[in-house]
Amino acid sequence: MNLLGLAWRSLLNRRFAVILTICTIALSIGLVVLVEQLRSEVRQGFHRSVSGVDLIVGARTAPVQLLLYSVFGIGDATNDISWQTYTELKELPEVEWAIPMALGDSHRGFRVMGTSEAFFEHYRFGNREALRLAEGRVFEDLFDVVIGAQVARRLGYDPGEQIVLAHGTGNVALQSHDDHPFTVRGILAPTGTPVDQQLYISLAAHRAIHIGWESGVQRPGAGIDPDSARARADELRPNSVTAILLGLTTRAAAFGLQRRINEYRQEALSGIMPGITLQQLWRITGLAEQVLRVVAALVVLAGLLGMLTVLLTTLNERRREMAILRANGARPWQIASLLVFEAGLIAAAGIVLGVALAVVVQVAAAPWLLTNLGLHVGLSWPEPWQIGVLGAIFVAGLLVALVPAFLAYRRTLADGMQVKT
């Protein structure tokens, strides 16, 4: 047994206080790791969702707001874009594809998006991956609905299921479109983006179920029955869409087109580049993240001070232990290093346990983030700089231990061989 072994046995002897100290440090480390991991995972999750989109167009609004309500289903649009504008944008030479989004309906808490086939064909997520159907097909009948993977999983829907949509996206007193039941036709494969949390209907269907709803509520007798709607399917189109996702022939065209959209004469539009707008979003949330980081750092400090307290309070009890060690040939520096070893063992155990704790919480929180934000939060190996931070915390733990180590050093010199009872 060497000095480290002695430190270990001495710690075992005081395991209750030591375990509590390790838990304190583990909690603080867990918080630090969690804040950083979730931060980067959430950011990655957001980027995944818009990685294939060059421009998002909506009615004039703040860029961050447009991004949040169009892609992430956070908040609501204040205004729509006219159908006219949509067709004009779609025809522009630099526009390769345009995905219309007609929002405003929901089904059991999930958003319903009226869109065109362009969505299934051109939307890209993550590393330029295309959407894939896990089951069924895209729209065949007018009243067909394609549902996201999470919708299917959570509501237990299979192709062929008859469902009714609700008007509005709020949670209370929704009026339902029960005169136009839809049939689940296809289920999308999981993407780990908000795509999984939505239902998709055609623009014509979106129009059909809203005939007679122009004032926001259904005018009695003004609707169109499903069969006549099917007969007129080709001419049904909405008067407006909520937002448009654009893919351009070249990314370089984005700046010019964005300016033209923002200066569009016929109506007030906002065009945003998702990547840049996300950066703006991170600048807004950055302050909160900094606060969280500072809090996490302070908690780590509290954890280390807790360890210092434990080491200092045991120092008196251990005065005899140190005199015995000294009488048996231990040198003052060896006794001092016992304390540093102990702190090292405590800090290392705390760090390992803390990282494990963060992993557990991350795994536990992942489903919640997926359901509530549509964000896929995976486990990732800590980045080198994070490992560096953990290493620095470990070193800080050793440095903190220098205080009791120094006291023990001085005391063993002063006490001589006297063993005080």
295 binds another protein per the rule CB under 8 A? no
Nearer to another protein, 1 or 284 (CB): 1
Contact flag: residue 266 with another protein (CB under 8 A): no
DSSP symbols for 18-72: HHHHHHHHHHHHHHHHHHHHHHHHHHHHHHHHHTT-SEEEEES--HHHHHHHHHS
37-45, 117-125, 349-357, 412-420 -> range binding another protein (CB under 8 A): 412-420
Select from 298, 324, 360, 392 the one that contacts another protein (CB under 8 A). 324
Our finding on whether 12 is near another protein (CB under 8 A) is yes
Shortest distance, position 197 Cβ to another protein, whole Å: 57
Asked if 10 interacts with another protein (CB under 8 A), we say yes
In the shown chain, the binding pattern of residues 42 to 71 toward another protein, with x for contact by CB under 8 A and - for none, equals ------------------------------
Decide: is 326 part of the binding site for another protein (CB under 8 A).
yes
Window of 19-27, 88-96, 123-131, 326-334 that interacts with another protein by CB under 8 A: 326-334
**Minimum gap (Å) between residue 410 Cβ and another protein:** 12
Query: Can residue 418 be called a binding residue for another protein (CB under 8 A)?
Result: yes
- H-helix or E-strand containing 103? strand 95-107
Candidates 123-131, 204-212, 244-252, 322-330: pick the segment binding another protein (CB under 8 A): 322-330
Does position 328 interact with another protein (CB under 8 A)? The reply is: yes
Stretch that binds another protein, among 146-154, 166-174, 298-306, 320-328 (CB under 8 A): 320-328
Q: What is the CB-side half-sphere exposure of residue 44 using CA atoms within 13 A?
A: 14
Residue type, 62: A
Backbone angles phi, psi at 76, to 5 degrees: -125, 160
Note whether 317 binds another protein by CB under 8 A: no
* Whether the Cβ atoms of residue 395 and residue 348 lie closer than 8 Å to each other: no
Q: Is 406 in the site for another protein (CB under 8 A)?
A: no
Angle between helix 274-317 and helix 319-327 axes, rounded to 10 deg: 70
Residue 2 interacts with another protein (CB under 8 A)? yes
CB 118 within 8 A of CB 97: yes
- Among the listed residues 156, 160, 220, 329, the single contact to another protein using CB under 8 A: 329
Q: Of 298, 320, 363, 380, which lies in the binding site for another protein, with binding defined by CB under 8 A?
A: 320
Closest CA to 247 of 26, 51, 41: 51
* Phi and psi torsions of 409, nearest 5°: -60, -50
Strand boundaries in 108-236, DSSP class E: 110-115, 124-125, 129-130, 133-136, 144-147, 162-163, 166-167, 175-176, 182-188, 198-202
In angstroms, rounded to a whole number, what is the distance separating the alpha carbons of residues 293 and 418? 48
CB atoms within 10 A of CB 212: 15
Kindly state whether residue 13 participates in binding another protein, applying the rule CB under 8 A.
yes
- Write down the least CB distance from residue 344 to another protein, Å: 19
Residue 256: how many other CB atoms lie within 10 Å: 11
Report the nearest approach of another protein to the CB of residue 14 (Å): 8
Contact 194, 73 (CB under 8 A): yes
With contact defined as beta carbons under 8 Å apart, do 201 and 112 qualify?
Answer: yes
Q: Does 17 bind another protein (CB under 8 A)?
A: no
Least Å from the CB of residue 416 to another protein = 4
Which CB, 207 or 326, lies closer to another protein? 326
CA–CA distances in Å: residue 110 to residues 105, 135, 410 = 9, 19, 68
- Residue 364 contacts another protein per CB under 8 A: no
What is the rounded CA–CA span in Å between residue 69 and residue 277? 13
Structure tokens at 352: 């390992």
| Size of site (CB under 8 A) for another protein | 25
Q: How far is the CB of 331 from another protein (least distance, A)?
A: 4
Is 417 a binder of another protein (CB under 8 A)?
yes
Residue 137 contacts another protein per CB under 8 A = no
9 binds another protein (CB under 8 A): yes
Please give the structure tokens belonging to residue 361. 């919480």
Which positions lie near another protein, rule CB under 8 A? 1-2, 6, 9-10, 12-13, 320-321, 324-332, 334, 413, 416-419, 421
